[in-house]
Structure 1
Amino acid sequence: MKIAAIEVIEAVVPFDDGGSGIGITPGRWDSLEFVLVRVETDTGLIGWGECFAYSCRAAVATAARTMVAPLLEGRELPATPEPLNLELQKRLHIFGRYGIAMFAISGFDIALWDIAAQAQGKPLHALLGPQVRNEVSAYASLVRYGDPALVKKYCSDAKALGYRFVKLHEIEPAVMRAAREACGPEIGISVDVNCAWSPDVARERIPVLQEIDAMWIEEPVFPPEDIFNQAAINREFPVGAGENACTRYEFARMIDAGAVRFAQPSVIKVGGITEFVGVCAYAAAKGVAVMPHTPYFGPGYFATLHLLAGLRGEPLFEHLYIRPAADIALGGTPLPVQGTVPIPSSPGVGFAPDPAVLARFRLNA
C-alpha cells in the first residue's frame, strides 16, 4: 500500500465563548484555525490528520506542504507509522526539533495511523493496546474571562450540563475564588495560567490554589521549559504541564526533574500519535499521570479520545467550552453528555470533514 495523494487544507471556523477573546493568545482569539492533512492511498483509503495551527496556521500549512509532504509522496506504508515518523524527525531536525516542524509532522502521523487502523478494519485504539474504557469523563475548559461574574456564570452553566470538572484559565485570585463559589465543593477545578506568572508569583499563589482546592496548577511559570522552577513549585503543589513540549524526550526531561505530576501531551503538537504513545509509556514507567491537552475540534479531538481508551488511571478529556459556528466533523463530533464522552468505535480515527462545512470555511480551494 502506497501513498497516492496528499492534500493540506486550511480552514477557519469562528466561535463564541461569551468573553472578550483577549488574554490567552497573542491577539483576539475568536476562531478555530485548522490545518488538516488528507492522505490517500493507492488502495483508496483516506486518512485525516490535524496539525496545531492556532495563531500560526499559514506557517504550519507551508511546513506541511513544503517540508513534510515531499518526503512522503509515493512512499510504501509500513503496518504502523512509527518508522516514517522517526525518519521525518531525522530528516527535518535541522529546521528545529520543536514548534512548526513538529506540528506539521504531528498531522501526518495522525493521518497515517488513521490509514493503518482502517487497513485492519479496527478503531485506532485497538492498534494501541487494550481498551480499558468505552467513555471518558470530560472537563469544561473555560477561556480566560478575567471577570468574576462571567466566571460564575459559565461555571454554573457547565455544572448544570453535568460536568464534574472545570478548568479555569484565570490568573487573578478573586476570579478563582468566584469559580469555586459557583461550582460548590463537589466540582473538581484545575487552573491553567499559560505561563503568566514568575516563579515568585507562582509561589505566592499556592495558598489561593489550596484555598479553592485546585486539582493542579498548569504551566505556572514562564518560560515553560524552566523545569527547575517548575519542579520547585511541583514539590509544594501539583503541577500539570506539557502542551508546549514536543517529543517524548522533552517530556522525559520534565518527568525526570520532578517537574510534573500530570504530563499533558498534545497529540497535534507533540509529534502525533507515535510520540504521544511514547510519552505515555515513559510517564507510566515513572508513575506520572497523563492528562492530555486537547482544546481542538478536528482529527486531534478524535485521536485523543482513542488514546484515552487505553490510558490507565483516571484521565480526563479536555473539552474547550466554546460555541463554534459549525461542526467540521461529518456526522458530528462526539460531545460531552452529562460530563462524559464516548470513545469512537468505527475503523480508523473516525473523523472525516463535513463537505458542506469545509466548503464554507476553507481558505485554500
Structure 2
Amino acid sequence: MRIKHVDTVTLKIPFSDLYEGPRAKRRGWTEFDTLLIRIETEDGLVGWGEAFAYGCASAVRAMIQDTVAPLVVDQDITDIAAFTLKLQQDLHIWGRYGITIFAISGIDIALWDLAAKQAGQSLATYLGGRVRDSVTTYASLVRYGGPEPIAIMTRRAVAEGYRDIKLHEIAYEPIAAARAAIGPDIRLTTDVNCAWSLAEAEAMLPKMKALDLYWVEEPTFPPEDYETHKALSRFGVALSAGENACTAMEFTRLSAALTFPQPSVIKIGGVSEFVKATRHAATLGKTVMPHSPYFGPGYWATLQLAAHLEPVGMFEYMYVKPEAYCGHNIPLPQQGQITIPDTPGIGFTPDDETLRRYRVA
C-alpha cells in the first residue's frame, strides 16, 4: 500500500469521574487529550491510529508532522513491523522512547488498520485469527483520594457487574475502604503510579497482601527498574508494570520481574511492538494485562489484540463518562464483559461531529 497523506487530529474531551459527593480537594484531571492519526493510501483507503497524548499532545503532534510523516508519505509499505522498526532506527538520535515512540505507535496502529481493511478482515483475524470473542473487563477508577468516595464508587462498579476493580490510590485508608466496601470476593488492585519510595513500598506491600490485592502496579520509581520489582516480589504480592516500558526490547527486559506485564499499544510502538512483547511474555508463562488507552483508536486496537493473543487477560476500562466518544458504536462493558467487534481493521470509525466539536486548533 502506497501512502498518500498523514494527518493528525488533536481532541480535548471533558469527562465526569461519576462522583458527586464532597471532595477533599478539587479534581485535577478533567479532560482526555487524544491525538488521532489519519493515514490515507493513494487508493483512498483510510486507516486510523492513536498516539499517547496525555499532557504532551502538541509535542507528539509536532513530532509526527515535522519528523515522522515525511518518512511515511510516498512509501509503499508491505511489511509494517519492518517499516516501523526502520522508523525507530532512523529516528533513534531523538531517543527511542517518549515522544518519538508515541508518534511511531500512532503511525503503526494506523498502518495495521489499513492493512486489515485492505484484506477485508478485522485486525485480529488478519494477524492470524481470533482466540476469543469477548474479554473480561475491570473498572479502572481515577484517584479520588479519600475513603468515602472510594467506598461509594467501588460499590457502584460492583453493582454494574464488575468483578475486578483497579484503584489509583496510594494511601492505605482508601484502599482498605475499598476492600471493606466490596468484600472479599471482588478482585482489587491499585496503581501507585510510582509514588512510593522503596521504604514506603516495603512498608505498604505487607498491608496490601493482608487486603488480598490481586496486584500492585508500578509501586516505585523508576517504573522500568527490574531489580527493585524483583526484590519487592518477596512480599508475596503480585506486581505489575509496563505501560511506561517503550519498545518490545525494554518491555521484555522488565517482564521477567513481574507477575502481570502491562503493555500500552499507544506507547510501546504500536501493534508491531505489542505483539512481540506479548508473545515473549507468553514464553515466560505470563498473563498480560494491557493498558487500554482511553477511548480512541488505541482502545479499539487493544480489543483486537485481546481477541488475537492468548496470553491477554483482562481489558482495562476507564470508569468515567466522557462527554462524547470520538468513534461510532464504541463497544462498552456489559456486566464486566466487552464483546469484541469483528469488523474490518481495528473497527474504529470517527464521529465527525465529535471531531469537529472537540478539535484543538
Give the TM-score category using the shorter length.
over 0.9
Deviations 1:124-143 (A, max 9, x none): 00122331110001000000
Picking from 291, 295, 298, the partner of 1:297 is 295
User: Deviations for 1:122-168, whole angstroms, at most 9, x for unmatched residues?
Assistant: 00001223311100010000001111110011101101111110001
Using the TM superposition, give the Cα deviation of residue 21 of structure 1 relative to its aligned residue in structure 2, in angstroms: 11
| 1:139–1:164 contact (8 Å) kept in structure 2 | yes
Q: 1:75 to 1:314 in 2, by over 3 A?
A: closer
4+ residue segments displaced more than 3 Å: 18-23
Q: 1:357 to 1:21 in 2, by over 3 A?
A: farther
Q: Is the 8 A contact 1:22 1:29 kept in 2?
A: no
Report the 3-state secondary structure (helix = DSSP H, G, I; strand = E; otherwise coil) of the residue aligned with 1:10: strand
Query: Which amino acid in 2 is paired with 1:298?
Result: G
Match of 1:324 in 2: 322
Aligned to 2:109: 110
The corresponding residue for 1:52 is 52
1:268 equivalent in alignment to 2:256: no
Residue 355 of structure 2 corresponds to 358
**How far did 1:22 drift?**
7.5
Give the corresponding residue for 2:72.
72
- Structure 1 residues 176-223: Cα deviation after superposition (integer angstroms, max 9, x where no partner): 111011111221111110000011111111122112211111001011
Q: CA deviation at 1:298?
A: 0.4
**SS of structure 2 residue aligned to 1:217:** strand
1:251 Cα shift?
A: 1.3
The Cα offsets for residues 40-69 of structure 1, whole Å up to 9 and x where unpaired, read as: 111121000000000111101111111110
Question: SS of 2:138's equivalent?
Answer: strand
CA contact (8 A) 2:18 2:321 kept: no
* Distance across 2 between alignment mates of 1:57 and 1:51: 8
Q: C-alpha distance in 2, partners of 1:200/1:311?
A: 37
Task: Measure the CA separation in 2 of the matches of 1:22 and 1:285.
Answer: 45
1:308-347 deviations in Å (ceiling 9; x for gaps): 11232560000001110111112x2110011100111100
Count of matched residue pairs: 357
Work out the percentage of aligned pairs sharing the same amino acid: 47
Corresponding position of 2:336: 339
Structure 1 Cα separation of the partners of residues 146 and 111 of structure 2: 43
SS of the residue corresponding to residue 316 of structure 2 reads: strand
Query: More deviation in 305-314 or 154-163?
Result: 305-314
Provide the TM-score with structure 1 as the length reference.
Answer: 0.95
1:1-365 paired onto structure 2 within 5 Å: 1-18=1-18, 28-78=28-78, 80-236=79-235, 237-255=237-255, 258-313=256-311, 315-330=313-328, 332-364=329-361
Mark the runs of 5 or more structure 1 residues left unpaired by the alignment.
Answer: none
Distance 1:22-1:74 versus aligned 2 partners, 3 A rule: farther
TM-score, with structure 2 as normaliser? 0.96
Paired with 1:99 and 1:127, the residues of 2 have a C-alpha distance of 29
- SS of the aligned residue for 1:268 comes to helix
Q: Which amino acid is the alignment partner of residue 74 of structure 1?
A: D
1:2/1:77 contact within 8 Å kept: yes
Q: Which amino acid aligns with 2:188?
A: I
* Cα deviation 1:264-313 (Å, max 9, x = unaligned): 00000000000000101111112222110114100000000000112325
Query: Residue type of the partner of 1:102?
Result: I
CA contact under 8 A between 2:282 and 2:311: conserved in structure 1? no
Unpaired runs of 5+ residues, structure 2, are none
Separation in 2 of the partners of 1:109 and 1:222?
Answer: 29
Residue 85 of structure 2 aligns with an amino acid whose one-letter code is L
**Alpha-carbon separation, structure 1, partners of 2:293 and 2:139:** 10
Quote the Cα distance in structure 2 between the aligned partners of 1:11 and 1:251: 29
| 2:61 maps to amino acid | A
